Amino acid sequence: MEISVDTELQQICENIQSQSFTEDEWSARESDDEFQTKNYCGGYDADEKAFCFSYFSPQKKEYWFQFSLKEATEIFNGDIRSIPAREAG
């Protein structure tokens, strides 16, 4: 499944970008639920070296996806318009 990048996810990525942390700094403050919005919940995972998220669809299904720090900037800038995801479980 592909999750279309929406305003909510772009705002999360704007928040990530505005903090200007390096990967090492994100790893030091690792949190799996730092970012919580209506449809998304996630944070940085040091083992994955990525932001790992759950997306909750309007049909109440949960999907998992992740993206790198570099990709967070690309999502915010509009260069990435969808993200591959898989059903949770």
What's the confidence (pLDDT) of residue 14? 97
Q: Could you read off the pLDDT of 19-45 as tens digits, one per residue?
A: 999 999 999 999 999 999 999 999 999
- Spans of all domains in the chain: 2-87
Q: Could you read off the pLDDT of 40-71 as tens digits, one per residue?
A: 999 999 999 999 999 999 999 999 999 999 99
Q: How confident is the model at residue 1 (pLDDT cuts 50, 70, 90)?
A: very high
> CA torsion 22→44→49→10, rounded to 10°?
-80
Report how far apart, in Å, the C-alpha atoms of 79 and of each of 19, 70, 72, 84 are.
20, 11, 10, 15
Taking residues 69-74, report their average pLDDT.
97
